[in-house]
Chain A
């Protein structure tokens, strides 16, 4: 009895000691911790350290939460383990010093295998005074999961003491559709960003290195696909130079110009065009739905022949061969975009292909459309489409280039003035996306949902984050721009030859899952009623505020507008929307799962 009593006291002592050393909590996906024992300022509202969490989920998607270890003292042999009926993907969160506001934010997610042994503080993250380590947990709910309540638990072992936090997932009958309601696009340009982020993997030359580079690019397609997005990488620059692999190799000139090799192009893009690059993903292999072509004023036709018969001969020869190759390969599920990105301010060409400001430049689109049509056989199953990224003269272009442009990518702010053009565009079979930036880490977590939500409410087909793979130099030391040009990071410093996701990418994916559910509900009942509910839950606004701008575009001709004019004219629209609460989308998620569970 005496001996037993001593043991109890010893256990209690160790346990109390452990409690002082390490606390173990669970937090919602929307409340990001900082490394010093609090939450990041923008996510503070409603945040709490919890000892358990209850989540809801539809089937065929992910549900996420965070695990947080707090400790005022060092821990050299902590271990995290998770028990779950469903598969879990676990990541350790990297705290980035954010130069703009000089605070730390978790964003990059480094995949780990559980059980995972770790130290406190994190010697790699190397933050003075760090008392928190955080882990992101994605639970995958397969489509064939039986609806019901599932229990799991996460366990922290600190020396001889264990702490456990339970999690409960209520899986509804609702099924997330395989096809997303929006093309949530991450855009990029060229390969400079890749070379900067993978100095080890890409050092050297030769075919093996080239294959490594191509594989890396395919990994970017893969990470965005797995997170319910699409990816674009433009293979040519403002003066028309095409990076190796982004176009077939050509030979000859004039009427003799033709394709001499598909080798590099097929090695780079073949796996994403036939879907094999996505083998092993939870969504399963599918060909990419969209892809930039290398076609520009300097390729495939030599600019030297512009306006001469040789230009048409070179263009139609090569594009005709491309169509044939794509058809023979069976690449008929992808829209191949003929997109002109050049701007005359970069001195390569005499017309703007991107964001046309001067109406005279529209004539070039007509010429290229004719060239394209002359290159393709009638009724080809291969889908080439002319794409225009439009802002200043959006409304005028939508009329002047009717029947020429099939894919519109419209500035998201200015599109608020021209939503009335959408029905006519859709009626003629056009695809319409809007574009914008990426919320930086210092913005409230739920802000990542605003753009896809707006795109869904507008009824467009996609939202493009204009640059989403460029974290800037040394992002693991400091984010120079809040990560506003990236949703993925290089895994190279962690021994991963490919990109790793960010918290913002995961939250965006969860948004898309919920929009997929909501779209199904909107199709079944009153779209307006569903959307009205959603915006009220999100930021307590009304649908009409999202759909209609209270102020018109600036007066006068677009060619005379300034950026300040546009900014001023957009202010009344933007001012309608309060900063959402961190859990704003959590409320929408719960609504979406509940609604869909009732009707599906």
Chain B
């Protein structure tokens, strides 16, 4: 069933009107609205598939306990200690990242599918895996950050939310569940009308 949906969605997306791998955002207001509307539906569909396919148990094993310990206990003598000690388990990271990439490939234009997870025992959230276009309406470049209300809502309710905060960007937030049917994280499926740029340093 999952696979059928995957293939069907892929076929749908293959017929989308795109040019040169860049999101097709037309110049006129009405066609822009139509294209954005179409794009939004496509991203929502990817998010729906992501919720079905991403293994929340695997995701829970990505960030090491040692890394979490350093994130939760700051060192007044070393402002960089959390970043310097950030570490992940390779296997679950790779497995999940590959799934995220496959999901992003369902759109024939640049889409990133990123994994976000709450930081245990805090009200914060952390980006755990991102992908090559550096797209996000939420990430501030930090190891962890305050939980945006939209993400909090997804984690609490299991709803899928579509967000358009930054000009030209559409994000769809959808829950990720583990085998206990707990919501352990969320995906941000995101696309932008602007050309991607690499992050620096």
Residues of A within 8 A of B (CB): 189-193, 235-243, 298, 302-304, 306-307, 343-348, 350-351, 357-358, 360, 392, 467, 562-564
Contacts and interface: CB of A to CB of B under 8 A. Distances in A.
Contact of B134 (A237, A351, A392, A564): A237
A237 B81 contact: no
Name the residue in B97, B114, B143 with the highest tally of chain A Cβ atoms < 10 Å from its Cβ.
B97
B90 A348 contact: no
A348 B198 contact: no
Contact of A239 (B85, B90, B134): B134
Interface string B107-118: 000000010000
A241 B143 contact: no
Given A189-B201, A350-B88, A350-B90, A345 B83 contact: yes
A302 B105 CA distance: 12
B197 A192 contact: yes
Contact of B78 (A189, A193, A236, A563): A563
A241 B198 contact: yes
B6 interface: no
Contacts of A302: 101
Interface in B82-113: 83-90, 93-94, 97-98, 101-102, 105
A241 B75 contact: no
B182 to A, nearest CB: 22
B54 to A, nearest CB: 15
B86 A243 contact: no
Contacts of B199: 190, 237-239, 241, 346
Contact of A563 (B84, B88, B105, B141): B84
Contact of A237 (B97, B143, B200): B200
Contacts of A346: 130, 141, 199
B196 interface: yes
Contacts of B141: 346
Nearest to B102: A304
Contacts of A298: 132
Name the residue in B127, B128, B131, B143 with the highest tally of chain A Cβ atoms < 10 Å from its Cβ.
B131
B15 interface: no
Contact of A562 (B75, B94, B196): B75
A190 B200 contact: yes
B2 interface: no
Contact of B133 (A236, A241, A562): A241
B197 A345 contact: no
Contact of A241 (B94, B101, B102, B196): B196
A240 to B, nearest CB: 5
Interface in B41-97: 75, 77-81, 83-90, 93-94, 97
Name the residue in B143, B197, B198 with the highest tally of chain A Cβ atoms < 10 Å from its Cβ.
B198
A305 to B, nearest CB: 9
Contacts of B86: 344-345
B129 interface: yes
A189 B200 contact: yes
Given A240-B132, A350-B90, A563 B200 contact: no
A563 B81 contact: yes
Given A303-B132, A392-B84, A563-B78, 6 more contacts: A237-B134, A239-B132, A243-B198, A304-B102, A343-B83, A357-B84
13 contacts: A191-B197, A192-B200, A238-B198, A239-B133, A239-B198, A241-B134, A243-B198, A303-B97, A357-B85, A562-B77, A562-B84, A563-B78, A564-B78
B198 A564 contact: no
A581 to B, nearest CB: 33
Nearest to A562: B78
A467 B201 contact: yes
6 smallest beta-carbon distances between A and B, as pairs:
A237-B198, A564-B77, A350-B93, A189-B200, A237-B199, A190-B200
Given A192-B197, A344-B88, A304 B75 contact: no
Contact of B80 (A306, A348, A563): A563
A189 B86 CA distance: 22
B77 A351 contact: no
Contacts of B133: 239, 241
Contact of A348 (B132, B196, B197): B132
Contacts of B77: 562-564
B197 A241 contact: yes
Contacts of A304: 98, 101-102, 105
A243 B197 contact: yes
Given A243-B198, A563-B78, A347 B128 contact: yes
Contacts of A343: 83
Contacts of A347: 114, 127-130
Contact of B131 (A191, A239, A243, A562): A239
Interface in B177-201: 196-201
A280 B199 CA distance: 35
A316 to B, nearest CB: 21
Name the residue in A235, A240, A242, A347 with the highest tally of chain B Cβ atoms < 10 Å from its Cβ.
A347
Interface in B114-168: 114, 127-134, 141, 143
A358 to B, nearest CB: 6
Contacts of A236: 198
A298 B84 CA distance: 23
B130 A564 contact: no
A392 B129 CA distance: 24
A351 B130 CA distance: 14
B172 to A, nearest CB: 19
B164 to A, nearest CB: 22
Given A241-B197, A241-B198, A357-B84, A303 B101 contact: yes
A351 B81 contact: no
Nearest to A189: B200
Contacts of A235: 198
